[in-house]
Amino acid sequence: MATSVVGIDIGSAALRAVEVRDPAKAKPTLQRYFEVALPAGAVSSGEVVEPNTVASALKELWSKGGFKTKNVVLGMGNQRVLARDLTVPKMSRARIRESLPFEVQEMLPVPVAEALLDFYPISESMGEHGPVVNGLLIAAVKEAVLGNVKATQLAGLTTVDVDLIPFALTRVMLARPRLMGTVALIDVGASTTSVVIAKNGVPQFVRIIPTGGDDLTRELMTGLETDPQTAESAKRALGLAAAISTPAEQKALEIIYRVASDQLTSLRNTINYWINTRPTDPVQRIVVSGGGTRLVGLPEALAEMTRLEVVAGDPFAEIGLARGVNAEQLRGSGLDFAVAFGLALGCAA
């Protein structure tokens, strides 16, 4: 395993990267982090649309960020990734992976040949015909994954792993801070929202919802007949808890409440599904991350709707910082780099 590895978060507007030394150690070291902007249209919902454009941005990222290794870990976490409960006969993980194409075709939205499959074991129990392994089936559309890998190859980088973004976030938000009990991690990104329910830091349930912060921006653009920058500014200024003073602000606030209400209802229903199917293991609290959770009043509204404590995640607990890394600056922008950090740490798994 590489001594140093870089996790890359490929977003619609920016590339973010974090280099970690000794990710397998109890206290790995964050060496450096950096981000560069992407032109509009180069990436859509986490998938590379223009490989050459993204490759050029990656080269800029490496040059300006000073990254010392070309070994990288990428993440997938959009609507082209599926995570579902799966129970299989007890056997080695290698044999389980070999058997997946024959076991899961009916669960997939695409033919097996067009998907990349993996299995994440959670627990063991006795089934009707003997010992079984309970876990999560992870399936991704092969074309989407290989498109992102191609961009890194064009940039002269080596992709050593592709990880599920909700797993990466669980790693840094729940597992390393050692949050015990049953906790829901909700990450609201630009185009997707992920919900992970973990027990003692181990993921038990994953859902990826194809809506995010950009949906609200687009609704504001349409409703207010304005440009993206003005819509984004209105979203950040008003949120869910602002006092309004003009008819334009009233209209914007009505749009924000309508869209946010739909998203919050979807989140509540997802958590309720877990509660209804595992009534003896209720969710005890919610940890939030992602740019979308910075909407003013959203954490409070989520707490009111679910009747659960809602706290902001801290991705940089239990981490060493290299010389030259400013801890205060890192924490100021930390949530933006949580995915990349979690991906880098996943190289140790």
Residue ranges per structural domain of the chain:
4-78+147-177+314-347, 81-141, 213-310
pLDDT digits (tens, 9 = 90+) for 227-258: 999 999 999 999 997 678 888 899 999 999 99
Inform me whether the pLDDT recorded for 348 exceeds 60.
no
Q: Say what the pLDDT of residue 2 is.
A: 52
Which architecture does CATH list for 81-141? 2-Layer Sandwich (3.30)
- Are the CB atoms for 220 and 235 separated by under 8 Å? yes
Residue in 260, 252, 254 with CA at minimum distance from that of residue 230: 252
Q: Say what the pLDDT of residue 241 is.
A: 72
Q: Does domain 213-310 have CATH number 3.30.420.40?
A: yes
Please report the beta strands in the chain, taking only residues with DSSP state E, as ranges in sequence order.
4-10, 14-21, 29-37, 43-44, 47-48, 71-76, 81-89, 115-127, 130-141, 158-164, 182-188, 193-199, 202-209, 285-289, 309-312, 320-321
Separation CA 264–CA 253 (nearest Å): 16
User: pLDDT-derived band of residue 106, with 50, 70 and 90 as boundaries?
Assistant: confident
Q: Say what the pLDDT of residue 334 is.
A: 66
Residue in 231, 219, 225 with CA at minimum distance from that of residue 262: 219
Out of 13-17, 49-53, 123-127, least confident range: 123-127
User: pLDDT-derived band of residue 285, with 50, 70 and 90 as boundaries?
Assistant: very high
pLDDT digits (tens, 9 = 90+) for 57-68: 999 999 999 999
With a pLDDT cut of 70, the percent of the chain lying above it is 98
Inform me whether the pLDDT recorded for 1 exceeds 80.
no
Say which residues have a Cβ less than 8 Å from residue 30's Cβ, sequence separation at least 6: 18, 19, 20, 316, 319, 320, 321, 322, 325, 330, 341
3-class secondary structure, 115: strand
Out of 73-77, 91-95, 141-145, 330-334, least confident range: 330-334
Tell me the pTM.
Answer: 0.91
Q: Say what the pLDDT of residue 131 is.
A: 94
Q: Say what the pLDDT of residue 101 is.
A: 92
Separation CA 186–CA 311 (nearest Å): 10
Beta bridge partners of 81: 140
Separation CA 121–CA 85 (nearest Å): 10
- Are the CB atoms for 77 and 42 separated by under 8 Å? no
Q: What is the mean pLDDT of residues 326-336?
A: 80
4-78+147-177+314-347 and 213-310 agree in CATH topology: yes
Separation CA 72–CA 17 (nearest Å): 9
pLDDT digits (tens, 9 = 90+) for 35-57: 999 999 999 988 999 999 999 99
**What's the token pair of residue 295?**
């909407």
* Helices H / strands E in the chain, number of each: 10, 16
Inform me whether the pLDDT recorded for 161 exceeds 90.
yes
Q: What is the DSSP string of 185-203?
A: EEEE-SS-EEEEEEETTEE
Out of 94-103, 165-174, 272-281, 327-336, least confident range: 327-336
Which architecture does CATH list for 4-78+147-177+314-347? 2-Layer Sandwich (3.30)
Q: What is the mean pLDDT of residues 100-119?
A: 90
Q: Say what the pLDDT of residue 260 is.
A: 94
Let me know the angle formed at the C-alpha of 62 by 194 and 11, rounded to the nearest 5 degrees. 25
Q: Say what the pLDDT of residue 319 is.
A: 83
User: pLDDT-derived band of residue 318, with 50, 70 and 90 as boundaries?
Assistant: confident
Beta bridge partners of 86: 135
